[in-house]
Amino acid sequence: MTPVRIALIYLALASLWILLSDRVLYWLVAADSTSFLFWQTTKGWLFVIASSVIIYLLAFRLNWALSRQLDLKRRHLSLVRRKAYTDYLTGLPNRRFGLRVMRRLLGQAERSDKGFCVILLDLDDFKQVNDSLGHRAGDQLIVALAERLKAQLGLGEHLVRQGGDEFLMMCAGTESRHRVAARAGALLEALTEPVTLDGMELTVTASAGVACYPDDGRQLLGLMRSVDLALHHSKKYKHCFNFYQPEMATSLQHRFDLQQKLREALDENGLEVFFQPVYEPVEGRCTGSEALVRWRTAEGFISPADFIPVAEQSGQIRKLGMMVLRKAFSHTVALIKESGQALTISVNVSPKQFVHGYIVSDLQQALHESGIDPRCVILEITEGVLLNNVIEAAEVLNQLTDLGVAISMDDFGQGYSSLSYLRQHPFSYLKIDRSFVQGMDQSRQDRALVEASVAMAQALNLKVVAEGVETQTQSLALEGLGVDYLQGFWLARPMPGDEYRALVLQQTVNA
């Protein structure tokens, strides 16, 4: 009921009361003036009392309705605020709330001249959990680990979920880096305790970055950038933590610059493919080569160990890999025709190319464009390619072998489960890691490992390639063990295409 309606009703009732009550009173006691005055006064008081009761009831009802509306509004605002500042999955404060807390801590630290630290935690390889067990299991894991981190909270500490598999802990009033280091280590250890999901025990690890006020940043953005850089550094090695160091920013800027230059080099065809010959040890004849990408700049060569990880992380590895396939295949086809020799070409496949599955279509396109016989092509993959998704990896390997190419297990001996992979997947070649080959002269264990690898490969009907051959002694020893092919600086270094062509043609003349 609106105030206008209340006023109109009151006006109508009051008017009727005055008109009717006066007429009735005059009719009843008009002859007695004393009684008339008494009842006139009583009637007035009755009117005042009745009006007061009515106004009170109306005001009470309006006040109750208004209070109820305000209460509902407060509850709604509280719910909105809670949703805005609470992570829906874990019930922890979310990133937005964490930024508010950090602003408050920054203000307190600035006034009190006391430091505080932030620890940014990120689960290692969490994507594998989602991919292999499903997102429901991933969510359950996040909830379980969030509860575990909450149980670790101490006085003056705040925990928020940044999003995804990241958690941020803020430790107020912390000035000792030793204490923060111990805290970060304890958090990482707490996260490594096994978690049971649907009756299955799962163990995960985490990495962390640590930044402290005021050394690593006096403003919110600066401090968050520092802790992000520290975490990024830790993720390279996994299951560790690192304090922010100024050189981390320099390294990241260098990486960004390298990424931009690589993009330009790929667009302008600025990368080359070198060829390292592979030899058959008995006759000392070159039977093919391994294609190796090289980046030559005005300042000199940039190491593949520097730019290939950048290509993988920036999404440029597919374009880079396709460039290598095209150049390697076209050069090999031309050389086979010119020399009349049956030459193989080995190409390394990045785990990123393999996992995303586009290696099959890219290889098919490169085979078609070059016209190379697929039997001349060897794709070298490392065990890391197979670790992400065994089922998917098996499907891709089968699709590749259906195209007619051979598959080689590269860097054999570095992985813990290479033996099972050799048995389960369609490999044709096994490439012994250079670290074992180079250690043969001094280490009995390395020589024994090489001997065992050769014997196992022969039993599985696999061809054996030994890379990293740098001395004549190593070459003779490997030949004596029955290794099928040798590759290394003792025999030939990686060389440009024209030098490799000259080497093969000279071999043809000598034959």
Q: What is the pLDDT of residue 3?
A: 65
Domain carrying residue 364: 277-510
State residue 470 phi and psi, 5-degree precision: -120, -5
121 within domain boundaries: yes
444 domain-assigned: yes
Tell me, yes or no, whether 249 lies in a domain: no
Give residue-wise pLDDT tens across range 243-273.
Answer: 999 888 887 788 888 999 999 999 999 999 9
Phi, psi of 345 (to 5 degrees): -130, 120
What is the C-alpha to C-alpha distance for residues 319 and 266, in angstroms, rounded to an integer?
Answer: 8
More confident call, 344 vs 33: 344
Q: Distance (Å, rounded) from C-alpha 279 to C-alpha 490?
A: 11
DSSP 5: H
495, pLDDT greater than 90? yes
Stretch 186-205: mean pLDDT, rounded?
89
The answer to whether the CB of 93 falls within 8 A of the CB of 169 is no
pLDDT at residue 356, as a whole number: 67
pLDDT at 280 over 70: yes
- For residues 471 and 398, membership in a common domain is answered with yes
Would you say 110 and 164 are in contact if contact means Cβ atoms under 8 Å apart?
A: no
265 in a structural domain: no
**Contact, 291 vs 346, CB < 8 A?**
yes
Mean pLDDT confidence for 465-473: 93
Residue 42 pLDDT: 75
Roughly what angle, to the nearest 10 degrees, separates helices 317-339 and 304-314?
Answer: 120
496 and 272 in contact (C-beta within 8 Å)? yes
Q: Distance between CA 275 and CA 280 in Å, rounded?
A: 16
The model's pLDDT over 314-328, given as tens digits with 9 standing for 90+, comes to: 889 999 999 999 999
Among 36-40, 104-108, 139-143, 484-488, the range scoring the smallest mean pLDDT is 36-40
Confidence of residue 55 (pLDDT cuts 50, 70, 90): confident
67 and 127 assigned to the same domain: no
Phi, psi at residue 393, to the nearest 5°? Answer: -60, -40
Residue 368 in any domain: the answer is: yes
Domain C-terminal end among 244, 267, 285: 244
Bridging pattern class, strands 166-171 and 157-163: antiparallel
Cα separation, 224 vs 211, in Å, equals: 8
Same domain for 26 and 125, yes or no, is no
Average pLDDT over residues 439-443: 83
Look at 481 and 357; give whichever has higher pLDDT.
481
User: In which region does residue 156 sit, left (phi positive, over 0), alpha (psi from -120 to 50) or beta (all else)?
Assistant: left
pLDDT at 419 over 70: no
334 in any annotated domain: yes
Check whether residue 223 and residue 151 sit in a common domain.
yes
Distance CA 487, CA 470 (A): 9
48 found inside a domain: yes
pLDDT in tens, 371-398: 999 999 999 998 777 766 667 778 889 9
CB atoms under 10 Å from CB of 6, counted, come to 15
Please tell me the predicted confidence (pLDDT) of residue 205: 92
The pLDDT value recorded for residue 418 is 56
Alpha carbons 378 and 33: distance in angstroms, whole number: 128
Q: Does residue 342 lie in a domain region?
A: yes
Domain shared by 188 and 297, yes or no? no
Where helices occur in 403-471 by DSSP H, the ranges are 418-424, 434-438, 444-459
Query: For all residues of the chain together, what is the average pLDDT?
Result: 87
193 contacts: CB under 8 Å, gap ≥ 6: 148, 203
Asked if residue 374 has a cis previous peptide bond (ω within 30° of 0), the answer is no
Average pLDDT (340-355) is: 90
Q: Are 373 and 401 spatial neighbours (Cβ–Cβ below 8 Å)?
A: no
Angstrom distance (rounded) from CA 452 to CA 191:
39
**In this structure, what are the phi and psi dihedrals at residue 328, rounded to the nearest 5 degrees?**
-65, -45
**What element of type H or E holds 460?**
none
Q: Are 394 and 468 part of one and the same domain?
A: yes
- State the Cα torsion 20-22-28-30 to the nearest 10°: -150
Instruction: Tell me how many domains the chain contains.
Output: 3
pLDDT value at residue 425: 85
Is the pLDDT confidence value at 23 over 90? no
pLDDT at 109 over 70: yes
Three-state DSSP state, 123 = strand
Which pair of tokens denotes residue 36? Answer: 């008339």
Decide which of 112 and 501 is more confident: 501
Q: How far apart, in whole angstroms, are the C-alpha atoms of residue 245 and residue 251?
A: 10
Task: Check which CATH number belongs to the domain holding 187 and give it.
Answer: 3.30.70.270
Tell whether 107 and 51 lie within a shared domain. Answer: no
**Residue 389's pLDDT is what?**
63
- Please determine, for residue 30, whether its predicted confidence score (pLDDT) is greater than 70: no
Is residue 470 over pLDDT 60?
yes
Based on its alpha-carbon atoms, the radius of gyration of the chain, rounded to whole angstroms, reads 40
